[in-house]
Amino acid sequence: MELLKTVVFDDVWTELEKEYSMIDEAFEAYFKVFNQLKSLMPEPNHYGMRLAVARIEDGLEPGTYTYDVFGIKPGDNEHYALELLPWSELLSFEVIEKCVEAYSAAVVVAHSLYELTFLGYDAADVEANIKNEINILKERSKEIENGTAEFVSWDEVCKDIGYVDERTEEEKELQNKQFERINAENKKVYEMLLS
């Protein structure tokens, strides 16, 4: 991610502080991540993945906005999560220029850093955590394949946690319409950035 070389950490930190609830120790943690990323050797990008950052309205909290950070392959409209990729692999992703033009280099780097630190604040720790998560996913997949997985219905989950949906049918319909509106607006944002 060549973009790292074009920004100063203070600008990145300003964006992180503005958008996320940061504790005092976070400055040092993110500063170390920022510098560690600049020192890592990028791995080859065999799929031609590109990095995208989009500011979209939150479908669960209408009127609030969040940044969606994802990978995208040329000729593929799917958005790929980045949490289970080593940092050195992500460094080889080309950043979509329209994202930088729309938000600024510091904003794109800030939200990318936030996404990258989902499983830790050190490249080696993140790789170990990725391997652990992949092993868990493989175990769950085997349980599904061999029929030993225990499936729990959504109604059972709600009952277990004491959640009762007290919305009226009208409120549910209004919320569904609002969700459809948000999805349509967010789709426009993605199309503008990815076209």
Q: What distances in angstroms separate CA 128 from CA 32, 36, 96, 171, 195, one per listed residue?
A: 18, 16, 29, 45, 36
pLDDT at 35 over 80: yes
Q: Which backbone phi and psi does 3 adopt, to 5 degrees? A: -60, -30
Cα–Cα distance measured from residue 89 to residue 85, given in angstroms and rounded to the nearest whole number: 7
Q: What is the pLDDT of residue 99?
A: 96
Q: Where are the domains of the chain?
A: 1-194
Kindly give the residue spans of alpha helices, DSSP state H, lying in 40-153: 87-90, 97-103, 105-116, 123-145
Confidence of residue 23 (pLDDT cuts 50, 70, 90): confident
Q: How much is the mean pLDDT over the chain?
A: 94
